Amino acid sequence: MSAENTYTVRGMTCGHCVASVTEEVSAIPGVGDVQVELASGALTFTSGAAVTREQVDAAVTEAGYALA
């Protein structure tokens, strides 16, 4: 069973930003179907395993951005 998770990312300004966040969050074990919306900063993904806010924060930070 997969769960949907939603966060807000701050600091994105272009398509490259979206691609970077998508790539890093996709690398978290258990994460699938990552969607990032530039205008709102919305980050939504499904996960088949428990994913903590800390894991998401670390991935977003690695991409160069921050969770709101």
- Residues in the chain predicted with pLDDT less than 50, given as ranges, are none
**pTM, rounded to two decimals:** 0.94
Distance of CA 30 to the CA centre of its chain: 13
Q: Residue 6: which of 58, 47, 62 has the closest Cα?
A: 47
List, in order of start, the domains of the chain with CATH numbers. Answer: 3-67 (3.30.70.100)
pLDDT at residue 54, rounded to an integer: 97
